[in-house]
Structure 1
């Protein structure tokens, strides 16, 4: 079926708009707005009727054996075309559990008042602009009116889902040896890592740990851009857990089994330099971000001596630059703290200079995290900051947000109550003794699941 144009719907809308033009022509802008409102309202009403029709079909054709109709209850969803209200049947199965065939077929989360498409809009838009503005944008686009709190909660849930996905991938990789499924490959991968700080509600600051990996750079339009970048940003993770998740995230983009060389660029901070230990590749090399090195060297002396130090570092290397700083210290022309800079240059001489072109992490931090988490007048909770960092890094890596499942939306209390009903129902039925060789008898563990929901039958198989 061609979903772009439905002839019957087009004919009906044409008649309605023609009547509107004849009765009150008010310019094209007003006509365009009216056409949009009529189309969206008609779509919402048509969807509501189609859902109720499907509910009746399910009740007639695939009603579980032993179940009975308990009631027909309304449900309203905030959608991208406005509120959609429909009535659907609730059943009671033989175990006394409540079933909703329509909700189960569509995979609608329990108790969710926002449709999956509208939720995706709120999360994607809320990752870029303030929550109140996001709610207004949904309404301007013809969707339902929601609150800023709804947007915040949507993004929080999405961030939690992304976090669980990333942690699960790290566990699979480092505990079970199962790498994630990659969508590309590269023999050489460049990795940059650093942290930036955002303000918390209590006035403190929290660090956003971030990493970006890419397969080199290419020039286009006069600018160099990274090839197939993949990102991870989070708040509150220990360095070891952060790096395990980072490597697993890299594996989503680049097949880990085909990576031969990795170059890690950092600013020299231990928690990021130590990431090399988590990168179990045939060849892994560390490099210091030249931005921080040049800035540190430039602070050792006033102009024009600072420029001379940086130029010598570029041409002669860290050893020659450290020797010149020592001479300036003896002459009294170096600033306080220059001894530490010279020692730093000698200690990290092997990591300064050489290697591929990197040094883009400062811009990455600014445009990926600071632009949303520090530019607006906002203060974060630790959970909210982690969710925002993960969602932004996930979306800008080109990944689809994890969908909220019906089973995952079930609260612990609700799940426990369902399991209690199931256990009581199974225990009340007599088991069947099974013959076997050797023991002669097995425990009565068989029971009938007829009349139960599809989720129970699936989980018990």
Structure 2
């Protein structure tokens, strides 16, 4: 019954839009003339809405759509802003075809899975633009992001996971989560960043800017970075612009590597040495086994790693949430379904899920932000030709001549 009610309301929405369009056309600024009236249809959460609106033309020959401009509707987009938000938000959680079905079940306009995919892609690209702008403002211009919270100590965890691409290869999804301590085993006020294809240096800079969007950077006194031991994340502690930064390696992966340095039960004994006596003692035991010829292949590299990162293995605050973070933020959507991603699609999905998981609102789709480069260039060429045709004039002098 509710869906039937919405459908009865649609004609009234169309008439209301057309009435508003006539008011805007009647009060148009001087210099604009009415060119025509053109139809437009929008897919909405209540079904298709069809209306006609006035087209105005200015002295340069540029067209204006007063109703579209007042509603801030992107040119050529047949989906309403609220419907786009639904498709992007729902498409970040469930398959694209299922999202289209859910919109139809709720009484919305029928859309294709491709429309859902495009909504997710455009939302992810808008998020990427915001994240890059924040990092540029912070590291180039010295302007910190506007934070919505504050904390003296921030715990940061970073890791990667892998998703399958269309060509059968695997792509790395880099992810970071920052939070102000834990309550009941969960991070407090978490903020996230996920992406595909970013260089390690760019990723670290954007991660810091993303942390600053949640926690006021000027009030952060201590940062504790937890990683699984990969160089691109371990080295991130040195690049963080904070006075007190310490990095810690999650011992889970280290224990597993140490346990493989010798056949059982010697591998288990090496793990016990690492737990009780520390990394240096364990490295010495592995080196002794290498000298005796009882160690497995690759044990020398593990011993060298233990000595190099002895101060970072274990210790520090309780973190260790990154494995679950990757599962719930990335793998549950990007790896659980039979998906085959493109590089751009995987990057957009990782960014969008991290953005929504941080509690941020979707970037609004505006008429200006969604204007295509081709349309923008065409308008600029028309305006340039119009200005070139205008004859030059002399401004009447005021004051003492030289002024």
Distance 1:246 1:431, change over 3 A: farther
1:166-315 equivalences under 5 Å are 166-219=131-184, 224-315=185-276
Distance 1:434 1:392, change over 3 A: farther
Q: Distance in 1 between matches of 2:366 and 2:5?
A: 30
1:255-404 equivalences under 5 Å are 255-329=216-290, 334-404=295-365
1:38-187 equivalences under 5 Å are 38-60=4-26, 62-187=27-152
Contact kept in structure 1, 2:40 and 2:51, CA below 8 Å: yes
Instruction: Give the Å deviation of 1:430.
Output: 3.6
Contact kept in structure 2, 1:64 and 1:93, CA below 8 Å: no
Contact kept in structure 1, 2:3 and 2:106, CA below 8 Å: no
Q: Distance in 1 between matches of 2:108 and 2:251?
A: 48
- Mark the structure with the bigger radius of gyration: 1
What RMSD in Å do the two structures reach over aligned CA positions?
A: 2.0
- Partner residue, 2:369: 408
Contact kept in structure 1, 2:158 and 2:177, CA below 8 Å: yes
Gapped regions of structure 2 (runs ≥ 5): none
Distance 1:66 1:353, change over 3 A: same
Distance 1:234 1:439, change over 3 A: farther
What is the TM-score with the length of structure 1 in the denominator? 0.83
What is the TM-score with the length of structure 2 in the denominator? 0.94
Distance 1:293 1:431, change over 3 A: farther
Contact kept in structure 2, 1:135 and 1:148, CA below 8 Å: yes
Distance 1:438 1:217, change over 3 A: farther
Q: Distance in 1 between matches of 2:145 and 2:379?
A: 33
Gapped regions of structure 1 (runs ≥ 5): 1-34, 442-461
Contact kept in structure 2, 1:290 and 1:359, CA below 8 Å: no
Q: Distance in 1 between matches of 2:391 and 2:6?
A: 52
Distance 1:437 1:288, change over 3 A: farther
Q: Distance in 2 between matches of 1:206 and 1:437?
A: 68
